[in-house]
Amino acid sequence: MQLRFLLITGPNSPPAAVEFGPGLNVIYGGSNTGKSHVLRLIDFVLGAKFPPEPIVEQAGYDLAHLGAVLDDGSERTFVRALQGGNIKVLEGLIRDRPTHALGVSVSAQHSAQNSLSRLLLAQVGAANARVRVDASGKTRDLSFRDLERHSLVNETKIQDGSSPVLSGQFVTKTAETSVFKYMLTGVDDSALDVAKPDLAQPMRQAAQLELLDRQIRDTEREIADADQDHDELIKLDSALDEELSRSFVVQETAESSYRELTSSRLELRREYEAVQDRMGEIDSLKARFALLAEHYRSDEERLASIAEAGSFFLLEDAAVCPVCGAAPEHHRPDDACEGSVSEIMAAAEAEIVGVRERAMELQVTIGGLTEERATLASRARELLPKLDLLQANILREVPTVQTIRTQTSNVIARKLTIQKSLELVRRRNGLVAQRAELGVSPGYDSSTIVAQQQLDGATLDAFSQIIEAELQAWEFPEARRVFFELPKMDISVAGKSRSANGKGVRALLHGAFSLSLMKFCKGRARPHPGFLILDSLFITYRDPSDDEDTAIASTPLKDRAFRAFSMLPDDLQLIILENVDVPDWLVGQPQVTHFTGSSSTGRAGLFPK
């Protein structure tokens, strides 16, 4: 597939477009003119999950159109709303804004049955391909975005020290290695789904490594988050032990005094409450006894009135008997009736004596209770000041005790944090020791072992020779002995790893790697998107990071590289996005666009001003 144009349109805005053709294409100019935005928009139209961060000039635009010629020669235009969503596929190179009924809508997600990824994979001969995702042999569908990663190299990635093959995510490392193997060999991992083979020793070792490396990585991330030096942690842990011992002694002394005060307060409070309870009981008894005394007084008065009435009766002349009702003429002096007045008077007087005795006993009891209550009240009055004093002393102790407890708790918390960090280091060291017991060479991991099993030396050597030839065409200094280093999944030139160079040289070598991969795949009919976009390949000429970058900037390498690019065959497409000026002989060429940054001079940028 080759790109033919990128068009951004809005309902009321003039279209913004850049044209592409086969072979070399260059967009160059100053910063903030929209060059990198071109790459991000192309990535988005081809299925990126999130829209690119909009630039100011994009206001008023809502659709991105990408025209392309597919490998079978057919022309397609892919249109996607800048807010996201599905992608509309139009037949032909259509620059008009599509109507709702025009074209076919496909999903940006590969998992959908009708997706852009599946359509493009079929065009590059990679339909239904599978890639291995771990050392145990688990696989997943190849996505077009797996291949596209090698066609869209942004400014950050091109100068990064990590492998051009890998994204830097540990969990996708094996899958990315498998994709690279598929691009070089044309053999995917579908066979692993047909019959799961017994894992040979290297693959069992790779599976163990994968598990250990994941655990080591997670542990090291936690250690890095703690941001503590191990030796300092040990010293700090020892110092905290001593501080904790001192804190416990101080806390025990303070709390001993506090406990004595609270214990004394508890005893006095219990006594005070017992006194109050007894006084309450006495008050209740006295209230009942007062009622009883009133009953005694009432009884005495009633009996006295009976005796007094009897005496008055005896002084009167004979009359009807008040007891039996007999008339005077029928009274029998020798035969008293039952309940004679004299007997009643005698009984009443006797009962009065008894009532008075009981009343006196009751008064004695009440007097005893009154004395007891007075004693209790006196004790209560003695206890209250003591309780108040103890409470005041306790309140004075509380801040000290709380402060000491807080200090001790803080020391314990710091101790636990240090212990956790030390435990992380111990766990990491244990995992590293287990890894060492596997006997794996330093720098090797599960993806390296998987690559060793799937990437033969002859294929890697052939690929390295293409990179070497590319660098020699650029007249790159000491462009000889280019090797692919499996542990790093990267190249070395003249014995020096790409990652060991400054960012300018790293960018050049990454560009050579990606361009050579496209040439290798096209020359051997291997799956590849068919185009390559490099952002800031010649950063060493704009911002050299070391002496080697500066030295290269003084050579004709840039001119030689552009001449090599200009001779690319028409079945390859290279798009260079650059901040530096191009050689004079390229200026004004049909597929060379200059973003001047000024509307008064040529084209200002991606969007019209």
Q: Which pLDDT tens digit goes with each residue over 352-409?
A: 888 888 889 888 888 888 898 999 899 989 988 888 888 888 888 777 888 888 888 8
* Beta strands, E only, 87-137: 87-91, 104-106, 130-132
Sign of CA dihedral 405, 407, 409, 415: negative
* pLDDT tens readout for residues 251-276: 787 778 878 888 888 998 999 899 99
Give the model's pLDDT for residue 250: 81
* Bridge pairing between strands 63-69 and 75-81: antiparallel
Q: Which of 235-244, 444-453, 588-597 has the lowest mean pLDDT?
A: 444-453
Give the model's pLDDT for residue 327: 64
Q: How far is CA 359 from CA 281, 354, 367, in A?
A: 21, 9, 12
Give the model's pLDDT for residue 148: 96
Q: Is the pLDDT of residue 531 over 70?
A: yes
Nearest 5°: CA angle at 321, between 315 and 325?
165
Nearest 5°: CA angle at 363, between 361 and 367?
120
Return d(Cα 454, Cα 457) in angstroms, integer. 10
Residue 317 confidence class, pLDDT cut points 50, 70, 90: low
* Bridge pairing between strands 104-106 and 531-535: unpaired
Instruction: Tell me how crowded residue 229 is: count the other CB atoms within 10 A of its CB.
Output: 9
Mean pLDDT of 24-36: 94
**Which are the contacts of 447, defined by CB distance < 8 A and separation ≥ 6?**
173, 174, 176, 177, 489
Give the model's pLDDT for residue 347: 82
pLDDT exceeding 90 applies to what percent of the chain? Answer: 46
Q: Which amino acid is at 115?
A: S
Instruction: Name the more confident of 420 and 324.
Output: 420
Mean pLDDT of 96-102: 88
Give the model's pLDDT for residue 583: 93
Taking the complete model, does pTM exceed 0.75, yes or no? no
In the chain the domains, ranked by start, together with CATH numbers, are 1-124+572-609 (3.40.50), 133-141+162-197+456-529+531-570 (no CATH), 230-325+338-437 (1.10.287.1490)
By C-alpha distance, which of 397, 396, 399 is closest to 407? 399
Q: Is the pLDDT of residue 417 over 90?
A: no
* pLDDT tens readout for residues 125-159: 999 999 988 777 789 999 999 999 999 999 999 99
By C-alpha distance, which of 601, 594, 602, 600 is closest to 25? 594
* pLDDT tens readout for residues 69-91: 999 999 999 999 999 999 999 99
Give the model's pLDDT for residue 50: 92
The phi, psi pair for 80, rounded to 5°, reads: -140, 140
Q: Which of 29-33, 219-223, 374-378, 561-565 has the lowest mean pLDDT?
A: 219-223
Encode 352-363: b = buried (16+ Cβ within 10 Å), e = exposed. Answer: beebeeebeebe
Mean pLDDT of 311-340: 60
Q: Which of 42-46, 275-279, 559-563 has the lowest mean pLDDT?
A: 275-279
**30 half-sphere exposure, CB direction, 13 A CA radius:** 7
CA dihedral 564, 570, 575, 581 (to 10 degrees): 40
Residue 195 confidence class, pLDDT cut points 50, 70, 90: low
The phi, psi pair for 275, rounded to 5°, reads: -60, -45
Residue 52 confidence class, pLDDT cut points 50, 70, 90: very high
